[in-house]
Amino acid sequence: MLQERKNGRMRFDQTAIREIHARVDIASFIGSYVQLSKRGRDLVGLCPFHSERTPSFHVHPDKGFFKCFGCGAGGDVITFVSKLENLAFPDAVRMLAGRAGIELEPESPQAARVRSEREAIYEANAIAAAFFERKLHESQGQRARAYCERRGILASTIEKFHLGYAPDEWGALADELAASHVDPLVAAKAGLLKRGERGFYDFYRDRLMIPTYASTGEVIAFGGRALGDAEPKYLNTSTTPVYTKGDHVYALNVARRAISDGTLIVVEGYLDCIALHQAGFENAVASLGTSFTEKQAREMRKYADGIYLCFDADAAGGAASSKAIDVASKAVENAGSSVRVVTLPPGEDPDTFIRRNGSQAFAELLKAAKPAIEVRLEREAERLERGFDSPAKIAPAAEALIRQLTPQIEWDRWRVWMAKRLKVSEHELRNSPFLANAANFTPRSAGVRPATRHLPQTVQPGSFERDVLSIVLEDPELLLEYKDRIPAQSFRAGLYRDVYSAMIANAARLARPADVFAIFADDHESVGLLSSLGQPDRSSTVRYEDSEQRRAHLDRVVERLQLDRERQRYQELSSRIDEIVGAGQNVSTELRDEFDALVTKLKK
């Protein structure tokens, strides 16, 4: 037996573990995720578990383990895949066993009854996927097969993506799951069944079924495409113990094996992705909706250095593409330089474009794809044109955008582009009043924190002030939420307080960093401060990947400010009581109670 149970918990015997270690070459395996170079007997690269510029991640092929001397991560190949893919130990073992061709014996019926909820849902999904796939090829699946034929989906593609059909019946899948001894409560948690007054019934009926697989091979979710005019057009798995919308990428399990040039193509929907694969673009994946998330970007970044974003050429697609550009640009290195945006003709999506124009035409669109930085700058340039009326005002704002959105090494290149785009001279950008204080833009030397010259030496910003400004600059919509909890009066440094006050006054109309820069277009000192906060190489400034992390930091600031106020009040009361006692007077009950309450609270 390769699997057994102990105390109700799955474990694998050491024979299976030793066989994985023997068959999986740790250097080749980790090398498929991390670019490694030879250094003596070791292989060295940038650690995938923390951000670094100097390689400190070592792989020891002869000893069969890895070690990062930067963050301390280390272990064998099972530990590596567990940490990188965020997998539980059994899932990591199963993934590596499949890669190595090691068969893990099926669990006995008795062991199946005590397996974890996740394992039970994986099994229910696998049974459902096989059922749907079988039904597509039976007489009941004729309508679904006809639909695939109309969409140009070939039999080989149907097999590759395990497409299926959910019969137009209320209990077909429920009966199949019952025959396989799947608990209907588990099937309901998996999103396969619904509970009604008369029992459980099928959630998916008369739909083309498209399964989504985890990177380890398990079926984690389904999308059901209506064959006629039924609404909704797509019926998708909602959140389950094994699936959360926005955390996963459709077809990544297939596309990652086809990556040859280090890139992935991201489209919006299942059938767009399937159409691209069939046309030869096997590095295509789908975001499963218009809201491209940071978690999806980070997941793809494990396998690809570059991302092509290709969303529908309609209003919704345009909005989706704008958000996707911003998210992917933050998640991929060099602030979006590895992200390109594919522009489709109006009214087209990837599927219709491929069917009408062919693979070669789509390949040309990929070649013409613009860097995400250019697309973002173009969007902001249009806003500048609408908001300013003279080159004298446009130039400093444009220079601020270049410094905020692009890596420093590329500033000259984008000055040329922006000058041409806005019909101003490159000289006006480079020598705009925005640059009057060059010290604001001098890169910091390692370990050295120079004085901020636009502030008096005795009034440096408090330790939280740069962090708060940096966060609300990056995510201005948080201002409305925190402006009362973090008031401008709590800022000691004059310029920081003035900038924060102005942002609060305009909070209702601030949605993105460019909006913030716009309200300070003529205030060169304030723009200089904001640009210093926005520069990618400012290591002393806090950086968070999403709004929830930023909120958590601001909540800590709120707690600190409250503690500071309580300590200040304690000092005031203490001095007041000393004065009263020194004058031979009695301390009032109210004053003493307040003092005692503060003492108790501050001791905690």
Q: What is the pLDDT, as a whole number, of residue 488?
A: 86
* 534-592: pLDDT as tens digits: 544 444 445 566 677 788 888 888 888 888 787 788 778 777 876 776 677 777 888 77
For 3-107, the fitting CATH number among 3.65.10.10, 3.90.580.10, 1.10.260.40, 3.40.50.1820 is 3.90.580.10
Q: Token pair of 469, please?
A: 């400004």
Residue 95 banded pLDDT, cuts 50, 70, 90: confident
Residue 367 banded pLDDT, cuts 50, 70, 90: very high
Q: For the chain, give every domain's residue range.
A: 3-107, 116-236, 252-368, 388-534, 547-603
Q: At residue 466, does pLDDT exceed 80?
A: yes
CB 136 within 8 A of CB 165: yes
CB 411 within 8 A of CB 435: no
pTM: 0.59
CA distance 185 to 602: 50
Q: What is the mean pLDDT of residues 84-96?
A: 83
**Burial of 353 (C-beta count, 10 Å sphere; 0-12/13-18/19+):** buried
Q: What is the pLDDT, as a whole number, of residue 357?
A: 96
Which residue did the predictor score with more confidence, 455 or 161? 161
Residue 330 banded pLDDT, cuts 50, 70, 90: low
At residue 506, the 3 state secondary structure works out as coil
Question: Please, what is the Cα angle at 167 between 134 and 175, to 5 degrees?
Answer: 80
Q: 116-236, which class in CATH?
A: alpha beta
Residue 129 banded pLDDT, cuts 50, 70, 90: very high
Question: Please, what is the Cα angle at 581 between 579 and 585, to 5 degrees?
Answer: 105
DSSP letter for 54, please: S
Q: At residue 5, does pLDDT exceed 80?
A: no
**3 state SS for 254-291:** HHHHHCCCCEEEEECCHHHHHHHHHCCCCCEEECCCCC
Residue 481 banded pLDDT, cuts 50, 70, 90: confident
Give which of 454, 475, 481 is closest to 542, Cα–Cα: 475
Q: What is the pLDDT, as a whole number, of residue 453?
A: 33
Which of 29-43, 146-160, 243-257, 423-437 has the lowest average pLDDT? 423-437
Q: What is the mean pLDDT of residues 415-436?
A: 74
* 263-318: pLDDT as tens digits: 999 998 999 999 999 999 999 999 886 567 778 887 887 778 789 988 876 644 55
Q: What is the pLDDT, as a whole number, of residue 389?
A: 58
Fold of the 252-368 domain: Dna Topoisomerase Vi A Subunit; Chain: A, domain 2 (3.40.1360)
Residue 132 banded pLDDT, cuts 50, 70, 90: very high
Residue 212 banded pLDDT, cuts 50, 70, 90: very high
Q: What is the pLDDT, as a whole number, of residue 179?
A: 96
CA dihedral 454, 477, 294, 306 (to 10 degrees): -60
CB 404 within 8 A of CB 360: no
Q: What is the pLDDT, as a whole number, of residue 540?
A: 43
Rg (alpha carbons) of the chain, rounded to whole number: 29
